Amino acid sequence: MQTQTFPFLTEQIVERIFASGELTRDDRQRIQSMLLNESIGENELSLVERVMEGVVKGILDVLN
């Protein structure tokens, strides 16, 4: 059975997040929606991990 992947978080969006140094509310909602989807791919999960690592390391500011 083939799983469907949803490009909620693309490499271009992650690059924009890191370029600005800010994780917006829209970005967080996009990530949350993607994580609630049970059929995300490894690439999307890797992108989420990269963003979360940026937050933990203080590279990204979380905006309200």
Task: Give me the pLDDT at residue 7, please.
Answer: 52
Residues in the chain predicted with pLDDT less than 70, given as ranges, are 1-8
Task: Give me the pLDDT at residue 3, please.
Answer: 47
Question: Could you tell me the pTM of the whole model?
Answer: 0.80
Domain boundaries, given as residue ranges, for the chain: 23-59
Task: Give me the pLDDT at residue 44, please.
Answer: 86
**Long-range CB contacts for residues 61-64, cutoff 8 Å, separation at least 24:** 61/21, 61/22, 61/23, 62/22, 62/23, 62/28, 63/22, 63/23, 63/24, 63/25, 64/25
What DSSP state is assigned to residue 61?
A: E
Task: Give me the pLDDT at residue 54, please.
Answer: 97
Cα 18 → chain centroid? 11
